[in-house]
Amino acid sequence: MAAPGASKPRVFSGIQPSGGLHLGNYLGAIRNWVRDQDKYDNIFCIVDLHAMTLPYDPSVLQERILDLAATYLAAGISEQHAAIFVQSHIPAHSELAWVLECYTPMGWLERMVAFKEKAGRQSHERVGSGLLVYPVLQAADILLYDTNLVPVGEDQRQHIELTRDIGQRINQRFGPIFTMPDALIQKAGARIMGLDNPETKMSKSLAIKAPGHAIFMLDSPDTIRKKFARAQTDAEPAVRFPAGAGVANLLEIYRTICGKEWAEVEQEFAGKPYSVLKGRVADAVIEALAPIQERYRAIRSDDPALMRRLRSAADRLSPTANATLARVQRAVGLR
Ligand code: TYM
């Protein structure tokens, strides 16, 4: 925490506009951004360049960018505390990424778990090389703004460590150019699992193929109830501890939304039938999402105004990004 009078620590985080946001994105990321926003000087990015790394439909990308911007605002991010902008609106992200790629060993990228998982689902001839170099672009996002903290879910920890490795490599070679960021990962809600398969992380790409996999932030109350009712549990008739993976995931969602300790939820649900647990989790999620959904609709009613806000945030941030880029360009001999 910054001392009184000192400037606040810089926070940077981002989400891909690659489809509807799910409960994992909300509990692992956005909700924490909103809760802590007044402690920090925040930058929240819509990482459209990252959304090109898996097959996508160009005709809906602009729509998805607006969806995500409206979701950030509807969830409670205030432009008083945060700049919300689109990654491709500031070309310095791509320019820095190229320079960093030239200083990042291939082996570091091939070890990334997210790459192995996503690339593993497709044939090698079809995977775009953007998927491999994607964490370097993420490092550029973070390093451009002298970021101190990166609030993310558990799945992004390895990418933040890589960001530090890349930053340190440049600093060791050329002197102190970059500020070293730390991941900020909460104890609750950092790894929400799929409702249909609690062994896999809840993810946007898996939800496309299996609608019961994830709750989306814009799902209707009826859909939310049905998805929880069908969520995988185990063969026990009632909640017992230690709970199996499916039940533990439902309890984790519930305690994160309600801000409760494990001991409290254990007491609340021990011996209760699964239908009670599923009903209460659904109620808690519906209650948390209802006001967000209402604000979302109001914000999406004026898309041109929303795009103007995004553009003007990019204009305000550009000088900072360009100053860092210039520092790097001078060091590597491009200026
Ligand atoms: P993305 O778009 O996959 O996810 C956005 C955020 O949601 C979190 N998250 C989860 N948290 C808990 N449980 C889950 N099942 C779950 N699924 C996703 C992620 O940890 C993330 O915080 N590479 C990033 C985007 C990015 C970025 C950045 C993040 C690009 N540049 C710079 C931080 C800083 C990504 O693909 O996130």
pLDDT confidence of residue 115: 86
Q: pLDDT of 287-300, one tens digit each?
A: 999 999 999 999 99
With a 6 Å cutoff on the Cβ, whether 71 touches ligand 1 is no
The model's confidence at residue 184, banded by pLDDT at 50, 70 and 90, is very high
Element holding 61 (H helix, E strand): helix 58-75
Return d(Cα 328, Cα 322) in angstroms, integer: 10
Same domain, 78 and 222: no
Q: Is the pLDDT of residue 269 over 90?
A: yes
For residues 39 and 133, state if they share a domain: yes
* Residue 199 forms part of a structural domain: no
Q: Are 212 and 227 in contact (CB under 8 A)?
A: yes
Catalytic residue among 39, 201, 226, 260: 201
The answer to whether residues 99 and 15 belong to one domain is yes
19 in contact with ligand 1, CB cutoff 6 A: no
Supply the pTM of this predicted model.
0.96
Split into its structural domains, the chain has a count of: 2
What confidence category does residue 117 fall into, taking pLDDT thresholds of 50, 70 and 90? confident
Whether 3 is covered by a domain: the verdict is: no
**144 neighbors 96 (Cβ within 8 angstroms):** yes
CA dist., res. 205 & res. 201, Å (int): 11
167 and 92 share a domain?
A: yes
Burial class (CB in 10 A: 0-12, 13-18, 19+), 248: middle
Q: Is residue 196 part of a domain?
A: no
Q: Is 201 a catalytic residue?
A: yes
Is the C-beta atom of 186 inside 6 A of ligand 1?
A: no
Q: Do residue 157 and residue 249 come from a single domain?
A: no
Residues 259 and 307 grouped into a single domain: no
- Whole-number mean pLDDT of the chain? 95
Based on the fold, state whether residues 117 and 264 are members of the same structural domain: no
Ligand 1 site-directed mutation target among 25, 86, 317, most atoms within 8 Å of CB: 25
Domain that holds residue 158: 10-190+303-332
Residue whose tokens read 């939310």: 224
Specify if 118 maps to a domain.
yes
Domain identity same for 132 and 215:
no
Say yes or no: CB of residue 157 within 6 Å of ligand 1: no
Question: Is residue 1 in some structural domain?
Answer: no
- Dihedrals φ, ψ of 12, to 5°? -130, 135
Residue with the smallest CA separation from ligand 1 atom 24 is 15
**Distance from the alpha carbon of residue 53 to the mean position of ligand 1, in angstroms:** 14
My answer on whether omega of the bond before 242 falls inside 30° of 0, hence cis, is yes
From CA 210, how far away is CA 149, in angstroms rounded? 34
What CATH code is carried by the domain that includes residue 227?
1.10.240.10
Give yes or no for residue 1 having a pLDDT over 80: no
**Per-residue pLDDT, 211:** 87
Give tens-digit pLDDT for 50-100. 999 988 999 999 999 999 999 999 999 999 999 999 999 999 999 999 999
Task: Phi first, then psi: give them for residue 103, nearest 5 degrees.
Answer: -110, 10
Average pLDDT over residues 221-233: 96
* Whether the CB of 28 sits within 6 Å of ligand 1: yes
Say if residue 107 is in the same domain as residue 176. yes
CATH of the domain at 35: 3.40.50.620
pLDDT of residue 5: 52
Residue 221 pLDDT > 50:
yes
- 84 occurs within a structural domain: yes
- The helix (run of H) or strand (run of E) holding residue 85 is strand 82-86
Average pLDDT over residues 242-255: 95
Q: Do 52 and 93 have their domain in common?
A: yes
Give 6's pLDDT tier (boundaries 50, 70, 90). low
State the pLDDT confidence band at 2, using cuts at 50, 70 and 90.
Answer: very low
Residue 251 lies in a domain: yes
Distance between CA atoms of residues 65 and 19, nearest Å: 9
Label residue 120 by pLDDT band (50, 70, 90).
confident
Q: How far apart are CA 157 and CA 201, in angstroms?
A: 14
Q: Are residues 158 and 280 in the same domain?
A: no
Q: Residue 81: inside a domain, yes or no?
A: yes
Task: List the residue whose alpha carbon is closest to atom 22 of ligand 1.
Answer: 152
Whether residue 262 sits in one domain with residue 126 = no
- DSSP string covering 142-185: HHTTT-SEEE--GGGHHHHHHHHHHHHHHHHHHSS-SPPPEEE-
The pLDDT of residue 125 is 78
Report how far residue 87's alpha carbon sits from residue 16's, in angstroms, rounded to the nearest whole number: 10
Which pair of structure tokens corresponds to residue 168?
A: 């340190």
